[in-house]
Amino acid sequence: MLDSQIRTVSLDYEVDIDRLGLVVNKFDKRKGYVATHSLDNWPSLGTPPVVSVVPDLKEQREAVHVKQPLLMYAPTSIQAQRMREIRRRLS
């Protein structure tokens, strides 16, 4: 579904969209079967690869609440580490 949406936007707006990878943001396996089943299936897509899975933890919500970038609010958090990992993988 996501792939077809990207293709549609690309055709509608006549732009090329590079797909460098998927980032699963705010993932929480406690949210049920659909979330965990989807996460299990995304890597099998192959292209684009799943670059990172960013868990749903309190630091991200708190940073949004105080209107600060996550890397400034909680630079040592798991989410901040994953953001740095994404940057390294896509560089």
| pTM of the complete model | 0.61
Domain containing 70 equals: 19-90
Whether 57 is in a domain gets the answer yes
CA dihedral sign, ordered 86, 22, 24, 65: positive
Burial category of 60 from C-beta neighbours within 10 Å (exposed 0-12, middle 13-18, buried 19 and up): buried
Whether 45 is in a domain gets the answer yes
Biggest CA pair distance of the chain? 41
Provide the pLDDT for residue 68.
95
Whether 69 is in a domain gets the answer yes
Whether 3 is in a domain gets the answer no
Show pLDDT as tens, one digit a residue, over the chain (91 residues).
677 888 899 999 999 988 787 777 776 666 666 666 776 777 777 777 778 888 888 898 899 899 999 999 999 998 899 889 888 888 8
